[in-house]
Amino acid sequence: MIRLSPLLLVIPALFLAGCGSGEENKESAKATPQSEDSVQPAGKAVRAEGIAMSFEGNTVHVGDAWESAEKLFPEHRGSYRLRSLPARFGSSFEAHGWESTDRQGDRVVSYGYGVVTYKDMVIAAVYHAEDQEPAHAQELLDAQRNGTGTLKMTEVKTGDLQWNYWEDGTQRLMVLQDKGKKGTDVTVLMGDAKVLDALGATKPVGPDPSTAPFLSSPPPASSADLPVKS
């Protein structure tokens, strides 16, 4: 299963530090000054109509303001905020996010939502939920599928892992499901391709999930898991 560290291993660099509040927290949201090897977006922070993170009829696109994006998954009561970016992200980038743990009956489930802005506009967004009922994972997948219109969806499966993703120009939308004994971990990622890659959220290449570095220990693909070539 994919574990939050502290938000999620899908993008271990997104919120390396920073639960807190006040002026200290505001300062931590700013990344270091730009350098020659700093991350640069693949394209402009403008929306591509088919690429958006969607849920319950609402959407977030690249190019939206954070104040709009934060409404897609409102902060849970008792959550803590995470607002730090690694040094390779220049001062034009900021991080906004939260993480929480809730008890549902005899189960403890975790949620996290993070957004990276570039020059005050959304450039990437991530939602993650752990140990969920399969219905919630399917609900999230259906919401993304319905929001992408006529864009082609690519699906890759191996073992208990399933990727679904869409691309439009320099932007990408992905859904990753990891099915375990306690429930399903589901992650939705949307944004500029280079920014997602810099966060470690690369798309799988072909049928081999080991090419996706955001997995801590991907299971080896067996011949039964590989798609049949036509």
Q: What is the pLDDT of residue 198?
A: 87
* Number of domains composing the chain: 1
pLDDT band at 205 (very low <50, low <70, confident <90, very high): low
Average pLDDT over residues 72-91: 82
Report the alpha-carbon distance of residue 99 to residue 84 in Å, rounded: 13
**Structural domain range at position 60:** 22-31+50-200
Q: What is the pLDDT of residue 50?
A: 80
Residue 125, pLDDT above cutoff 50: yes
Report the alpha-carbon distance of residue 73 to residue 56 in Å, rounded: 10
Residue 225, pLDDT above cutoff 80: no
Residue 192 domain-assigned (yes or no): yes
Of how many residues is the chain composed? Answer: 230
Residue 16 domain-assigned (yes or no): no
CA Rg value for the chain? 17
Report the alpha-carbon distance of residue 82 to residue 61 in Å, rounded: 21
Residue 73 domain-assigned (yes or no): yes
Residue 194 domain-assigned (yes or no): yes
% pLDDT > 90, the chain: 36
Report which of residues 205 and 199 the model is more confident about: 199
Among 78-87, 160-169, 173-182, the range scoring the smallest mean pLDDT is: 78-87
For 173-199, how does the pLDDT look when each residue is reduced to its tens digit (9 = 90+)? 999 999 888 889 999 999 999 999 888
Residue 230 domain-assigned (yes or no): no
Report which of residues 230 and 51 the model is more confident about: 51
Average pLDDT over residues 89-118: 85
For 38-76, how does the pLDDT look when each residue is reduced to its tens digit (9 = 90+)? 888 988 888 787 899 999 989 999 999 988 999 999 888
Average pLDDT over residues 80-84: 76
Angle, CA 193 vertex, CA 191 and CA 195 arms, to 5°: 75
Distances (CA, A) of 110 to 28, 131, 228: 24, 7, 36
Report the alpha-carbon distance of residue 222 to residue 54 in Å, rounded: 33
Residue 216 domain-assigned (yes or no): no
pTM: 0.74
Residue 45 domain-assigned (yes or no): no
Q: What is the number of other CB atoms lying within 10 angstroms of the CB of residue 75?
A: 15
Report which of residues 47 and 7 the model is more confident about: 47
Q: What is the number of other CB atoms lying within 10 angstroms of the CB of residue 193?
A: 19
Angle, CA 153 vertex, CA 210 and CA 205 arms, to 5°: 20
Residue 56 domain-assigned (yes or no): yes
Amino acid identity of 166? Answer: W
